[in-house]
Amino acid sequence: MADFFDVPQIQFEGSKSRNPLAFKHYNPEETVGGKTMREHLRFASPFWHTMRGTGADPFGVGTMQMPWDDGSDSIENALRRVDVFFEFLNKCQIDFYCWHDRDIAPERGTISESHAALGEVVDYLEKLQAEHGKKLLWGTACLFGHPRYGQGAATSPYLDVYAYAAAQVRKALECTNRLGGEGYVFWGGREGYSTLINTNMKKELDHLGAFLHMAVDYKKEIGFKGPFYIEPKPQEPTTHQYDSDAAACLNFLREYGLMEHFKLNLETNHATLAGHTMQHELRVAADAGALGSVDANEGTANCGWDTDEFPTDLYLTTSVMYEVLRAGGFTTGGLNFDAKRRRDSFEPLDLFHAHIAGMDTFARGLKIAHAIIEDGRLDDFVTQRYATWDSDLGKKVESGKASLAELEAHAIAKGEPNIQSGRQEMLEALVNQFI
Ligand code: XLS
Ligand code: NI
Ligand code: NI
């Protein structure tokens, strides 16, 4: 098969290299703390941005050059995109990928025809995965693009829409399982409301809970081993999304008895939109044992949009990898670049520059976070800060056995508490030493 990209496979050349088409920091086989970078980082590219992102925005048409794409919704065109994509994954040394059903295959007039089209593309993906040793990080169903989902899918006011969505998820799950997917994502693109004036929120949430329980049943039926992930996002497209942030998702999962079946897929730009740092979202998930996977991108801090930029901020990737390492590293999850080139970066070559930038920034983030943890001063400080809880009384409180009377007696005996500086600036400077 002829090459679509006039680029050799990207190699690690070290930090002194002046070659823009080389890794300066991502060295797949180099070990960091006993694991290779490839094992730590588990990079994935998303089919929707990499192959289908046109660069269109509300003010103008697409700008991306895609000479391999004839613009039709034929199966032939869909299969050619798969060829291009796998060449890209190979040349960029990316081991995983992700898809929505509707990015990889066209939607047809009926459910059965759409299922059949998807089946054909999945057959081909299965073949190319085996040939190239690539893996599916996760699959998902696009339940937000088609006009029928304009008022929600699993939270639609209309049962017929809900059933359509169920049919799509059933097929997408079957395909993910067939491709040996490591996980499956639910991003509730239209699961929310525009206004409460016309919305029965309780009913919609109950329906969503029931929908996810049916998905769990089906997962068991087909023997799908991977976890389900919910991907939080506060708004855009709807005014209020039910899965607004990590804490809201965890509350929903607990309320509907779904915790054991779900983890979270956290996306940086969604954390920003929710008014949180990505580190906060990761910590919330990790503390609940629900840190699943990461959609690795970044937003523009002074802009309220989900701009899905490639992650090039070293402080950000350091904080992400710090949380991931503290949580024990990825198991089924990974770093999926749910990111798109700016519309000015319209040449196919820019796909490489964008992914190289993201991969190198994460490789450095990994090395820096590992060094901070190895150094131990940050952790020691935090341990020391909470040392009073190691006393008998502290342990009693933590195990739920203390009373207010006991604490009062302690407070009276001790008098005014002795507190110490939080040393934030000193610790920020310490982190900077590693960057
Ligand atoms: C959109 C979401 C989407 C999910 C998958 O904002 O990030 O791309 O990752 O449906
Ligand atoms: Ni995402
Ligand atoms: Ni996004």
Q: How far is the CA of 321 from the centre of ligand 3 (A)?
A: 19
Residues 51 and 149 in one domain: yes
Which residue, 375, 401, 418, sits at the end of a domain?
375
Quick check: pTM over 0.85?
yes
Residues 25 and 103 in one domain: yes
Q: Is any atom of ligand 1 closer than 6 Å to the C-beta of 295?
A: yes
List the residue whose alpha carbon is closest to atom 5 of ligand 1. 187
Average pLDDT, the chain: 98
The CA distance from 337 to 207, in Å, is 31
Q: Considering the domain boundaries, does residue 18 fall inside one?
A: yes
pLDDT in tens, 94-120: 999 999 999 999 999 999 999 999 999
Residue 362: predicted pLDDT: 99
Residues 344 and 425 in one domain: no
Average pLDDT (21-42) is 98
* Ligand closest in space to the Cα of 100: 1
Query: Coil, strand, or helix at residue 139?
Result: strand
Q: Considering the domain boundaries, does residue 286 fall inside one?
A: yes
- Our count of domains for the chain comes to 2
Q: Considering the domain boundaries, does residue 3 fall inside one?
A: no
Residue 304: predicted pLDDT: 86
Residues 301 and 357 in one domain: yes
Residues 93 and 127 in one domain: yes
Residues 18 and 74 in one domain: yes
pLDDT in tens, 324-372: 999 999 999 999 999 999 999 999 999 999 999 999 999 999 999 999 9
Active site residue 103: yes
Spatial CA neighbour of 353 closest among 23, 43, 6 = 23
Q: Is any atom of ligand 1 closer than 6 Å to the C-beta of 294?
A: no
Residues ≥6 apart with Cβ < 8 Å to 77:
69, 70, 71
Q: Quote the tokens at residue 44.
A: 């994935």
Q: Considering the domain boundaries, does residue 146 fall inside one?
A: yes
CA 392 to chain centre: 42
Residue 303: predicted pLDDT: 87
Contact 62, 56 (CB under 8 A): yes
The CA distance from 228 to 175, in Å, is 14
Contact 314, 364 (CB under 8 A): yes
Residues 368 and 400 in one domain: no
Phi and psi at 276, nearest 5°, equal: -120, 165
Q: Is any atom of ligand 1 closer than 6 Å to the C-beta of 187?
A: yes
Residue 301: predicted pLDDT: 80
Residues 395 and 343 in one domain: no
Residue 214: predicted pLDDT: 99
Q: Is any atom of ligand 1 closer than 6 Å to the C-beta of 233?
A: yes
Q: Is any atom of ligand 1 closer than 6 Å to the C-beta of 338?
A: yes
Residue of 241, 266, 267 best suited for mutating to test ligand 1, as the one with most atoms within 8 Å of CB: 267
Active site residue 206: no
Count CB neighbours of 85 within 10 A: 22
Q: Is 116 exposed, middle or buried (0-12, 13-18, 19+ CB in 10 A)?
A: middle
Average pLDDT (6-34) is 98
Residue of 187, 306, 309 best suited for mutating to test ligand 1, as the one with most atoms within 8 Å of CB: 187
Q: Considering the domain boundaries, does residue 76 fall inside one?
A: yes
Which of the 8 DSSP states describes residue 62?
-
Burial track 124-141 (b if 16+ CB lie within 10 A, e otherwise)? bbeebbeeeebbbbbbbb
Q: Considering the domain boundaries, does residue 384 fall inside one?
A: no
Residues 401 and 328 in one domain: no
Q: Please identify which of the residues 25, 40, 95, 103 carries the catalytic annotation.
A: 103
Q: Which domain holds residue 428?
A: 390-434
Residues 244 and 312 in one domain: yes
Q: How far is the CA of 305 from the centre of ligand 1 (A)?
A: 14
Q: How far is CA 19 from CA 12, 13, 14, 29, 364, in A?
A: 10, 8, 10, 20, 18
The CA distance from 171 to 176, in Å, is 9
Residue 35: predicted pLDDT: 98
Residue of 99, 231, 293 best suited for mutating to test ligand 1, as the one with most atoms within 8 Å of CB: 231
Residue 1: predicted pLDDT: 56
Residues 405 and 367 in one domain: no
DSSP 320-375: HHHHHHHTT--SS--EE------TT--STHHHHHHHHHHHHHHHHHHHHHHHHHHH
Spatial CA neighbour of 101 closest among 175, 4, 159, 198 = 175
Which residue, 375, 405, 424, sits at the end of a domain?
375
Q: Please identify which of the residues 25, 40, 49, 100 carries the catalytic annotation.
A: 100
Q: Which amino acid is residue 224, in one-letter code?
A: F
pLDDT in tens, 261-297: 999 999 999 999 999 999 999 999 999 999 999 999 9
Closest ligand 1 atom to the C-alpha of 295?
A: 9
With cut-offs at 50, 70 and 90, classify the pLDDT of residue 2. low
Sign for the CA dihedral angle at 34, 433, 270, 59 comes to: negative
With cut-offs at 50, 70 and 90, classify the pLDDT of residue 185. very high
Which residue, 375, 402, 423, sits at the end of a domain?
375
CATH number of domain containing 221 = 3.20.20.150
Residues 368 and 398 in one domain: no
